[in-house]
Structure 1
Amino acid sequence: MDGLWRAVCATAGRGWPVFPTVAGAKRPAVADWERWASTDPDRLRVWWARSEWSNPAVATGRAGLVVLDLDDPARHGRPGEEHGVRVLERVTGRRAPATFTVRTPNNGLHLYFTAPDSVVLHNSASRLGPSIDTRAHGGYVLAAGSVTPDGRYETEVDTEVRSLPPLLVEALTPPPPVDAVVVVTDASAGAYLRAALAGEVRRIRDAEPGTRRASLLRAAGRMGRLPGLTDAAIVTALREASEPHMADGAYSLVERERAIADGIAWGRRRPRRITVTR
């Protein structure tokens, strides 16, 4: 119990509200845990006196955190797939930032970041790519020092918690919850699609350093949602728009082509509703 209580105190000492899980497991032992998660020593003592083998879990939203959960697929019966670390590097075009990091028992990593002030982020599953989930508002992670039947959660990088990089903020920002039906006439349908494509081209060209690859990915996704645009038209326009960033070294040729292809594929699975009238 001493080790778990030290983990509780260390986590709450960082200012992160915690709550107990079922002993030795990940399931919350407290109803309405996000509301009741706390850093108050008296409340924590009461909880852990009742169940000394409970793990401390961090309520990420209450803590002002976004935690990237990078899985090792080989430890989950998916050999041959990329580790979440590699996927993150491929998506962002750079190594993961040095921030407070916890290694999970199954060789995964929890990367802790401070949440942005500009947008409220919630949990996500594979939004950034395979083997990457995120925990933010509405989510929690087991703290360093927790123990499950698979093993112990250990601090891997003990450093300050960095801000969530802008390109990840942009990539994790959810789209508007409901699409309006776009109604166009036969005569204006082509003009609507050209204007939409031109708008995405401008967004790519105007993207700030640090957001350029994410901007390209999101533009490809939005254009992929428009059934009237062919893949070839999207690829041609986005390649041309991205050339200045390629020249600046924002991403490689392979990274650019992968971002465009992944974005279009995502959009094709989520087509917008466009009604053409005569």
Structure 2
Amino acid sequence: MPRTRRRSRRQDPEVVRLRGAALDAAAAGLFVFPVKPGEKLPAVPRHAARHCRQRGICADGHQGWEQRATRDRAQIYAWWSGQPRFNVGIACGPSGIVVIDLDTSTDPLPDWGGATTGREVLDQLAARHSGELTDTYSTRTPTHGEHLYYRMPAGLELHNTTQGLSGSLGPLIDTRAWGGMAVGAGSVRPEGAYIVAEHGQITELPDWLATLLTPAPPPQRPAAVALPTRRANAYVAAILRDEVGQVAAAQAGSRQSTLYFTAYRLGRLVGGGELEADHVAALLREAAAGHIRDDAFGPDQANDAIARGLHKGAEDPRYIDEHTSTRDDDTADAGP
């Protein structure tokens, strides 16, 4: 009787390709983790350490995407072994790297000689600080931006910066370090693929950039402010009007970050019971409506920025009444 040949299960070639990209990144010394298919959001738990219930995968300690990132081949094979088609995330902190994220804009920046790309702004920064941009491994994003990979200098523990905020390099430039991630080469989104732009080694972050990215010592906290309840209500209303106005007036290149950090600051008041989350979210969506375009800044991005900002802010409540005080360090730990 003839023997029946067992059919081997053929793996999805796209999953195999993405697994190869993850293995290549790990072989280059980078810590990887799965990212949702077609997106740039982690596919592993994203809950904050302070909200971790110490159960399941977190039974022995909090395990978010940054903690679970790995170079272990067996784990990479386990993550990229079937559906879904995970993109490749790079955990910058554990990998010991700083990624400079250079965006693009359709609106010229008058203060930067009409620049429309983060690369042009970075080149001007280098000239202003008599610095050089050493050749290093880099990728091109599906939206025509660039990711420049640099090794974090020994002894430095850099964190993320966001364009338009204190500590940032300039418009159209974000940086990712501890607490930050980059989507790796080979990953795909509806707009296209992340491709290697510059092959070779990841070189050390130039000194002048390291200096600019090293945060200044935190300022002394201002004296506490206490207000009677009636005045506090008026004060909160004034804050709300001012913050919503900033979103409506935000300039190209900083609209998404302005929306996020405004949501964060108002989220602190939501956490303190001073405002209602649904009301704040509706006002922010209305203020941002004039900026929303399907290509550069769509409704999904706006809603995500609002939701993340409100959630992050609520973790650090701000109270305004006759019993408790306010703080002015609203963006001290607001990184997305």
The answer for unaligned runs of 5 or more in structure 1 is 182-269, 271-278
Instruction: Tell me the residue number matched to 1:35.
Output: 67
Q: Secondary structure at the match of 1:57?
A: strand
Equivalent residue number for residue 31 of structure 2: 17
Structural mapping, 1:126-141, within 5 Å: 126=163, 127-141=168-182
- Say which of 122, 125, 138 aligns to 1:91: 125
Superposition deviation, residue 18 in structure 1: 0.3
User: Paired residue for 2:197, among 156, 180, 184?
Assistant: 156
Contact 1:85–1:96 under 8 Å retained in 2: no
> Is this contact kept in 1: 2:133–2:206, CA < 8 A?
no
Q: How far does residue 52 in structure 1 lie from its aligned partner after superposition?
A: 4.3
Is 1:58 equivalent to 2:90 in the alignment?
Answer: yes
One-letter code of the match for 1:67? V
Q: Is the alpha carbon distance of 1:157 and 1:36 closer, same or farther for their aligned partners in structure 2, counting shifts above 3 Å?
A: same
Are the counterparts in 2 of residues 103 and 110 from structure 1 also a CA contact under 8 Å? Answer: yes
Count of residue pairs the alignment pairs up: 180
Which residue identity is paired with 1:65? I
Q: Alpha-carbon deviation of 1:177?
A: 2.4
Q: Aligned Cα RMSD in Å?
A: 1.9
Post-superposition CA distance 1:241-276 (Å, at most 9, x none) = xxxxxxxxxxxxxxxxxxxxxxxxxxxxx9xxxxxx
Q: Secondary structure at the match of 2:33?
A: strand
- Which residue is equivalent to 2:139? 102
Q: Is residue 101–residue 155 contact of structure 1 (8 Å, CA) maintained in 2? A: yes
Q: CA deviation at 1:17?
A: 0.8
Cross-structure match for 1:176? 217
Taking the aligned partners of 1:65 and 1:12, their CA distance within structure 2 comes to 13
Structure 2 counterpart of 1:122, which letter?
A: H
Give CA-to-partner distance per residue, 1:193-230, whole Å, 9 cap, x none. Answer: xxxxxxxxxxxxxxxxxxxxxxxxxxxxxxxxxxxxxx
**Which is worse superposed, 46-55 or 98-107?**
46-55
Q: Which residue of 1 aligns with 2:287?
A: none
Distance 2:191 2:218 in 1: 38
2:34–2:86 contact (8 Å) kept in structure 1: yes
- Take 2:134 and 2:141, find their aligned partners in 1: how far apart are those partners? 18
CA distance in 2, matches of 1:13, 1:51: 23
Q: 166-175 or 87-96: which moved more? A: 87-96
How far did 1:3 drift? Answer: 2.1
CA contact (8 A) 1:23 1:51 kept: no
CA shift at 1:144, angstroms?
Answer: 0.6
Find the residue that maps to 2:89 and give its secondary structure: strand
- The yes-or-no answer on 1:111 pairing with 2:148 is yes
TM-score (norm 1): 0.61
Q: Distance in 2 between matches of 1:159 and 1:43?
A: 26
| Partner SS, residue 120 of structure 1 | coil
| 1:48 aligned partner | 80
Q: What SS is found at the alignment partner of 2:95?
A: coil
Following TM superposition, by how much is the alpha carbon of 1:12 offset from its aligned partner in structure 2, in angstroms?
1.1
Does residue 23 of structure 2 align to residue 4 of structure 1? Answer: no
SS of match in other structure, 2:40: coil
Number of the residue aligned with 2:333:
none
1:124 corresponds to: 161
- Identity, % of aligned positions: 39
Letter aligned with residue 11 of structure 1: A
Q: Which amino acid aligns with 1:133?
A: D
- Given residue 158 of structure 1, which amino acid in structure 2 is its aligned partner? H
- Higher mean displacement: 95-104 or 25-34: 95-104
1:54-81 CA-partner distances (Å, limit 9, x unpaired): 001000000000000011113xxx3564
2:211 and 2:186 mapped to 1: Cα distance? 32
Instruction: Find the residue that maps to 1:119 and give its secondary structure.
Output: coil
* Pairs within 5 Å for 1:162-241: 162-179=203-220
